[in-house]
Amino acid sequence: MLDIRLVRENTEKVIDALKKRSEDTSVLDKLLSIEGRRRDLLKAVEDDRQQRNSLSQEIGKLKKEGGDASALLEEAKKVSEDSVSKEAELRDLEILAKNELLLIPNIPHESVPVGRDENDNVEVRRWGNIPEFSFEPKNHWDIGESLDILDFDRASKIAGARFVIYKGGGASLERALINFMLDLHTKEHGYTEVITPLLVNREAMTGTGQLPKFESDLFKLEEGDAKGFLLIPTAEVPVTNIHREEILSGDELPIYYTAYTPCFRREAGSYGKDTRGLIRQHQFNKIELVKFVKPEGSYDELETLTNNAEEVLKRIGLPFRVISLCTGDMGFSAAKTYDIEVWFPAQKKYREISSCSNFESFQARRADIRFKTEGRKGTEFVHTLNGSGLAVGRTFAAILENFQQEDGSVIIPEVLRPYMGIEKISKK
């Protein structure tokens, strides 16, 4: 959510931002007209209230002294009654203004490349050598099925399309990845591990920006007692909301959290895409990194957060590149986003494995997360950042493809061996 004052006083900047995102600017006209009326009415209502308050005070005083207050009572009643409709209208306008404001995306940072879609994203750096194979590299789902460590068919019997069963060495590898990533982030990168609810309420989803605009991406529970719960599409939601409606003290910051959670996504509208394999599942595991920081250093924090995510790939030994998303391709709440893309040999291209963003105060304003600096009056909104560190399923897939051998086996990357106790997954 943007600051309504910014929208009011710096409208051009907001229009510019919307245009860069290829978004319709008409929402803004609507918002501003509502906001204008809201402010006029606020003044009127407050004047009424002031008058009423002072009359009431006199009535109180008079009654205490045993005087006759009936004339004042009459007057006060009139003021009150006259104000009723204004108060109601004001309430409506406040809700309307808030609703409109919630639909406006964040303003991109000045360093973000301007562009229409993913073709205008800018590659920032690459790491690692793309592996060469003396044979035609296979897709990870073929590898996984032939090693009997992934089972898509039976999963679809249990749940449906876009679900998977990890089995044997597959389950072990998935678990190893989770533990390796968590250990790296907690022991070396300074994050505190949290385990959070996977079902959350609407307020939490609104706080991070999934609602109200992206309801169709989410799984919801709608029956009986469960009514109102939504399944998290990312740990960003519960973790960022840990400090919702809190005023942190300045010296608590920065706060770094990491969390392992399953994530649930409807993937409505992506029917043709990635129908096979682990890339696009309704349920997948992810390690998330979340930061709460002071505004001054938040872009440095984005760099280190991104580096922290890259480090996972470096240690495993998977080639990747980092791209800076352009204005048209960035998510709704983000001010700047780096995507990390890992190499998939069978598809011969880089695919997203992490997305690291600075939301500046956009989420903090929605979720009301502030901090107070000792000796300074008032409070400020924190800046929130998050990124995947990493998507576990996609990392799993990348390992199968990049470390596959001609005989169909898969070499386990060295850093994962202590977690698994084996060096290789082979056919039985």
Partner RNA sequence: GGAGAGGUGGCCGAGUGGUCGAAGGCAGCCGCCUGCUAAGCGGUUGUGGGGGUCAAACUUCACCCAGGGUUCGAAUCCCUGCCUCUCCGCCA
Q: What is the DSSP string of 13-38?
A: HHHHHHHHTT--SHHHHHHHHHHHHH
C-beta of 243: minimal distance to RNA in Å? 14
Q: What is the 3-state secondary structure (H, E, C) of 140-165?
A: HHHHHHHCCCEEHHHHHHHCCCCCCE
Burial of residue 301 (number of CB atoms within 10 Å: 0-12, 13-18, 19+): buried
355 counts as catalytic: yes
- Considering the complex, state which of residue 221 and residue 247 has its C-beta at the smaller distance from RNA: 247
- Considering the complex, state which of residue 272 and residue 378 has its C-beta at the smaller distance from RNA: 378
Tokens 């390796």 -> residue = 180
- CA 338 to CA 387: how far, in whole Å? 9
- Considering the complex, state which of residue 376 and residue 427 has its C-beta at the smaller distance from RNA: 376
Closest by CA to 396, choosing from 144, 142, 128, is 144
- CA 238 to CA 259: how far, in whole Å? 10
- Considering the complex, state which of residue 187 and residue 376 has its C-beta at the smaller distance from RNA: 376
Which of these is catalytic: 280, 315, 351, 417? 280
- Considering the complex, state which of residue 252 and residue 303 has its C-beta at the smaller distance from RNA: 252
394 counts as catalytic: yes
Which of these is catalytic: 38, 265, 365, 370? 265
Which of these is catalytic: 355, 357, 361, 388? 355
Closest by CA to 128, choosing from 306, 313, 356, is 313
C-beta of 53: minimal distance to RNA in Å? 4
Q: What is the DSSP pairing of strand 255-264 with strand 380-381? A: unpaired
C-beta of 82: minimal distance to RNA in Å? 11
C-beta of 371: minimal distance to RNA in Å? 10
C-beta of 304: minimal distance to RNA in Å? 28
Residues 6+ apart with CB under 8 A from 279: 351, 393, 394, 397
Q: Would you state the structure tokens that stand for residue 167, as one six-digit string?
A: 């089995």
C-beta of 8: minimal distance to RNA in Å? 8
Q: Would you state the structure tokens that stand for residue 223, as one six-digit string?
A: 């029956």
Q: Would you state the structure tokens that stand for residue 25, as one six-digit string?
A: 């600017």
Q: Would you state the structure tokens that stand for residue 145, as one six-digit string?
A: 């099925």
- CA 236 to CA 261: how far, in whole Å? 10
The identity of residue 262, as a single letter, is P
Indicate the SS3 state at residue 83: helix
Q: Which residues bind RNA (CB under 7 A)?
A: 5, 39, 42-43, 46, 49-50, 52-57, 59-61, 63, 73, 76-77, 79-80, 91, 225, 247, 370, 372, 377-379
- Considering the complex, state which of residue 40 and residue 123 has its C-beta at the smaller distance from RNA: 40
Which of these is catalytic: 89, 94, 145, 352? 352
Catalytic residues: 265, 280, 352, 355, 394
